[in-house]
Amino acid sequence: MKIQIEDKEFECMLEYDQIKKRIRLIGIQMNVDYEEKVPVFVGVLNGSFIFMADLIKEIDISAEITFIKVSSYEGDASSGLVKKVIGLDYDLKNRDVIIVEDIVDTGATMGFLLEEIYKHKPASVRICTLLLKPDALQHEIPELTYTAFEIPNDFVVGYGLDYNGLGRNLKDIYRAIHVPSET
């Protein structure tokens, strides 16, 4: 099914059932990896709110959850200008932190965020991202431990991800259809 958001047309790329199955597996892995620990899940708003809600339901060890906000994006092209982190007031000292992100594109946002989080002297930091665009990645991120799906360099919306603020409420994930430019 195709959908239209403002000037862009999108087609379904990942259905909710597929996403749920993958999240269940990540949850199982985390329950093992953090068996003796009480990790703090740090969700990156706005994009991660649905992913976090589904992921945390698969976690059956003790865990805490908090959210922060950092935005670096205007429209559909990464600006590279990362703004400041809002809401990083949770005590992360000596804690095992799991950053939950909707998508890692160039990795610039994550690089900045990691720097800020390390200032709080956590015991460990790992990243869990719903989507990763490996071909767009420009920064090494050794903390990237859990990736639900690797995707091509398409622009995607749905399941928390937006295009100019729209599309976050879509249950599935959609990719922008490239229309060949007229000559």
Q: Pattern of binders to ligand IMP over 131-170, x per CB under 6 A?
A: ------------------------xx----x---------
Question: Residue 98 Cβ, how far from ligand IMP at the closest point, in Å?
Answer: 16
Using the rule CB under 6 A, give the single segment among 10-18, 20-28, 60-68, 98-106 that binds ligand IMP.
98-106
Prior bond of 169 cis (ω within 30°): no
Task: List C-alpha distances in Å: 19 to 22, 37, 75, 117, 147.
Answer: 5, 26, 25, 28, 11
Residue type present at position 2: K
Among 27, 39, 43, 47, binds ligand IMP (CB under 6 A): 47
Using the rule CB under 6 A, give the single segment among 12-20, 31-39, 54-62, 107-115 that binds ligand IMP.
107-115
Q: Which of 54, 96, 102, 105 does the annotation list as catalytic?
A: 105
* CA gap 5, 8 in Å, rounded: 5
Q: Is 129 in the site for ligand IMP (CB under 6 A)?
A: no
Structure tokens at 138: 């420009």
Q: Please give the order of strands across the beta sheet that includes 40-45.
A: 64-69, 40-45, 96-104, 124-132, 144-150
- Which spans of this chain sit near ligand IMP (rule: CB under 6 A)? 47, 72-73, 78, 101-110, 155-156, 161
Known catalytic residues? Answer: 105
